[in-house]
Amino acid sequence: MFAAVFAVGAIALSFLVTCTSATAAQQSYVYAIIHPVYGEIGTFTRTTHQVANTTTINSQLRVAIKLLGAVVYREDADGAETLRDNRLVSFQNITQTNGTRMEVRGESHGNTFVVSSPSGTVTAPADVAPSDPWFVRPTGPRDMVSTKTGKVVHARVSDGARTTISFNGVSIPARHFTIVSDNRQDVWLDSHDVPIMFRTEVDGTPIDFFLRSPIEASVFTSDHNQASAE
């Protein structure tokens, strides 16, 4: 799912061949965030950098809800995760909600993963997974950590039923995974295992994330209200 782009002249081609394995691959995904009442309220951006067996993930959330032109709710979050051999080794997340700052950190220590947040310090299994829609495999029971709150929960991930997602009359094949813990999340992956849509509950309200970029404009448009999962 990662794509590497190289700009190189003919005289540098032999050098490129010997160094490709050490060159970072990068891919960015931008999602529109949709509230069932307020409509589009922000964006979520996820950028990955991969070098050999190490992947760094940077995320950015920007949410603002307006009433009569005035912002009544704002949430900004910036996060970073590091994985080695597809296992989480560290993360940091800073969230600003209406001016209140919260920082959560996690780091692997031997056979455990230690998470620090304003609520205290908790210890999770070394193979704990981040609460990230990209991490729906392996399916079945597993431990997950919320990179926003630092809470560690026991979750169960479904097998991923084959279905379609309809965007403005265009049906896209997908696999639908559900993640059930203290709340429910739904993830729809395309044929390249990229989440083209995911949904999470916030205080009982379903919040949808629709992939905006990269995607063909003829399939996904700004009219997100016409998108639905079947």
CB 212 within 8 A of CB 201: no
Query: What's the confidence (pLDDT) of residue 25?
Result: 79
Determine the pLDDT at residue 165.
87
- Which stretches of 98-151 are assigned E, i.e. beta strand? 100-109, 112-117, 120-125, 129-130, 140-145
Tens of pLDDT, residue by residue, the chain (230 residues)? 323 333 333 323 233 333 333 445 789 999 999 999 999 999 999 999 999 999 999 999 999 999 998 999 999 999 999 999 999 999 999 999 999 999 999 999 999 999 999 999 999 999 999 998 988 888 899 999 999 999 999 999 999 999 998 866 788 899 999 999 988 999 999 988 999 999 998 888 999 999 998 864 334 443 444 455 65
Asked if residue 6 belongs to a domain, the reply is: no
Instruction: Decide if 1 is inside a domain.
Output: no
Q: Is residue 8 part of a domain?
A: no
User: What is the three-class DSSP state of 224?
Assistant: helix
Residue 9 lies in a domain: no
Structural domains counted in the chain: 1
At residue 203, the pLDDT reads 85
Q: What pLDDT does residue 182 have?
A: 85
pLDDT at 54: 95
- pTM beyond 0.85: the answer is no
Residue 99 lies in a domain: yes
**pLDDT at residue 168, as a whole number:** 62
CA distance to 145, 183, 230, per residue, from 95 (Å) = 16, 20, 33
Which helix (H) or strand (E) covers residue 14, if one does? helix 13-19
Q: Which domain does 32 fall in, by range?
A: 21-229
Distances (CA, A) of 101 to 96, 148, 203: 4, 11, 20
* Six token digits for residue 75: 């949430």
Q: Is residue 5 part of a domain?
A: no
Which residues face 182 on adjacent strands? none
Q: Is residue 163 part of a domain?
A: yes
Residue 2, domain member (yes or no): no
Q: Is the peptide bond before 125 cis (omega within 30 degrees of 0)?
A: no
- Cα first-last separation, the chain: 25
Tell me which long-range contacts 129-133 makes (C-beta under 8 A, separation of at least 24).
129/88, 130/81, 130/88, 130/91, 131/185, 132/57, 132/81, 133/185, 133/187, 133/195, 133/198, 133/209
Structural contact between residues 116 and 105, judged by C-beta atoms closer than 8 angstroms: yes
pLDDT for residue 149: 94
What is the distance between the alpha carbons of residues 107 and 196, in angstroms, rounded to a whole number? 29
